[in-house]
């Protein structure tokens, strides 16, 4: 049984960069006779004294990796060395992948592994054919785990064929509710739910983007990659009182009008747009209004093209990012 000190874990979540709480947890675990205390101590010693010579460094890293594999066999994904997800004795960055069936058992074991209790950066990969009750179970398992209150960043990557019913949405709403410290939410899915994150990066359809933006009252940065442009203007109708940075791609004439008409456009300090070629003349026509934004980024045109020349002339202070031929 892995001993747990929830008080010290709470302090670490509140002050994750400070070394003192981690040292206190390491000492406490050593007092309990648990080897994770030793793993924490070795990793912190490595962090504080990185330059010990090539041979000594290899020996130290090998000992740390062996101890980590012994403690966390469920998390043995080849990232055992410090700097590869492990930090100070716990996995603070990890990818969780599930596709239903038997994989759900292994998924639950990983989610509840002691080494993930202080996870801060998670990627959740939902693979086809997971669906229905199994998908809802994923949300429930995650919501009941130890790490959601400490997550600073969560990325959801869902297969295009996954459908979100009422039960599945409810399970993930519960998960997001547990993520009280979430700062960055990245979604490549049609999951129409957003936590109170300050940094939203969404790849989705316009209706889903609109549903999320309407509830994104705490968002300070919003990046939208839209899978189509039908009804895309609705994605920018949210109040967004805290928004300071906006990135949208692609941008057509209707979406450009929506950006300029948004009540929060005057408060932006950064605007990043990827106009379609046919939209470049419309963008040039409203240049005086856009030049009021302190930092303007325009991307997606070809270097030397007529569109690039138009943008360079109309927006001399803007940062132009050109397409790259692969």
Domain ranges of the chain: 1-85
* Greater pLDDT, 78 or 70: 70
Cβ-defined contacts of 265-271 (< 8 Å, 24+): 266/292, 267/243, 268/243, 268/244, 268/293, 269/244, 269/245, 269/293, 269/294, 269/295, 270/244, 270/245, 270/246, 270/294, 270/295, 270/296, 270/297, 271/245, 271/246, 271/247, 271/295, 271/296, 271/297
At residue 279 the predicted structure's pLDDT band, cuts being 50, 70 and 90, is very high
Give the integer Cα–Cα distance in Å for 123 and 169: 18
Give the integer Cα–Cα distance in Å for 257 and 226: 16
At residue 77 the predicted structure's pLDDT band, cuts being 50, 70 and 90, is low
Helices (H), 179-272: 206-214, 253-261
For the chain, the average pLDDT equals 91
Q: What pLDDT is attached to residue 81? A: 60
Looking at the whole model, is its pTM more than 0.85?
yes
Mean pLDDT of 244-260: 94
Q: What pLDDT is attached to residue 224? A: 93
Number of Cβ within a 10 Å radius of residue 69 = 12
At residue 9 the predicted structure's pLDDT band, cuts being 50, 70 and 90, is very high
| Segment (H or E) for 310 | helix 306-314
The DSSP symbol for 149 reads: G
132: alpha, beta or left? (left if phi > 0; alpha if psi -120 to 50): left
Let me know: does 287 contact 260? Beta carbons within 8 Å: no
Residue 197 has pLDDT above 80, yes or no: yes
Distance of CA 142 to CAs 51, 109, 119, 160, 172, Å? 39, 11, 12, 21, 9
Mean pLDDT of 103-121: 94
Distance of CA 73 to CAs 65, 67, 104, 234, 237, Å? 11, 10, 17, 47, 47
Mean pLDDT of 69-86: 74
Residue 186 has pLDDT above 90, yes or no: yes
Residue 60 has pLDDT above 60, yes or no: yes
* Greater pLDDT, 325 or 17: 17
Residue 83 has pLDDT above 60, yes or no: no
Planar angle of CA 184, 185, 188, nearest 5 degrees = 140
Let me know: does 315 contact 289? Beta carbons within 8 Å: no
Residue 52 has pLDDT above 60, yes or no: yes
Mean pLDDT of 119-135: 94
* Greater pLDDT, 83 or 148: 148
At residue 160 the predicted structure's pLDDT band, cuts being 50, 70 and 90, is confident
């Amino acid at each position: 049984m892995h001993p747990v000190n929830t008080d010290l874990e709470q302090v670490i979540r509140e002050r994750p960069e400070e070394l003192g709480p981690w040292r206190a947890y390491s000492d406490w675990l050593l007092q309990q006779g648990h080897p994770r205390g030793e793993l924490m101590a070795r990793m912190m010693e490595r962090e504080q004294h990185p330059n010990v010579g090539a041979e000594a460094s290899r020996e130290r890293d090998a000992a740390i990796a062996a101890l980590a594999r012994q403690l966390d066999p469920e998390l043995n994904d080849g990232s055992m060395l410090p700097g590869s997800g492990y930090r100070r004795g716990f996995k603070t960055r990890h990818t969780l992948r599930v596709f239903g069936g038997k994989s759900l058992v292994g998924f639950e074991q990983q989610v509840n592994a002691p080494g993930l209790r202080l996870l801060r950066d998670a990627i959740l990969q939902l693979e086809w054919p997971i669906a229905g009750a199994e998908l809802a179970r994923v949300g429930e398992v995650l919501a009941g785990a130890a790490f959601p209150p400490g997550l600073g960043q969560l990325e959801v990557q869902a297969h295009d064929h996954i459908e979100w019913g009422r039960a599945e949405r409810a399970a993930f709403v519960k998960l997001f509710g547990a993520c009280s410290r979430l700062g960055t939410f990245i979604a490549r899915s049609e999951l129409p739910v957003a936590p109170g994150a300050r940094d939203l990066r969404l790849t989705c359809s316009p209706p889903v983007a609109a549903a999320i933006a309407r509830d994104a009252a705490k968002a300070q940065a919003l990046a939208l990659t839209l899978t189509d442009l039908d009804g895309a203007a609705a994605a920018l109708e949210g109040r967004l009182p805290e928004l300071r940075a906006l990135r949208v791609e692609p941008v057509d004439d209707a979406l450009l009008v929506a950006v300029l008409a948004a009540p929060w456009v005057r408060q932006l300090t950064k605007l990043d747009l990827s106009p379609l070629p046919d939209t470049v003349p419309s963008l040039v026509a409203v240049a005086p209004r856009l030049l009021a934004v302190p930092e303007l980024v325009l991307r997606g045109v070809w270097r030397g093209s007529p569109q690039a020349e138009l943008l360079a002339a109309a927006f001399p202070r803007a940062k132009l990012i050109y397409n790259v031929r692969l």
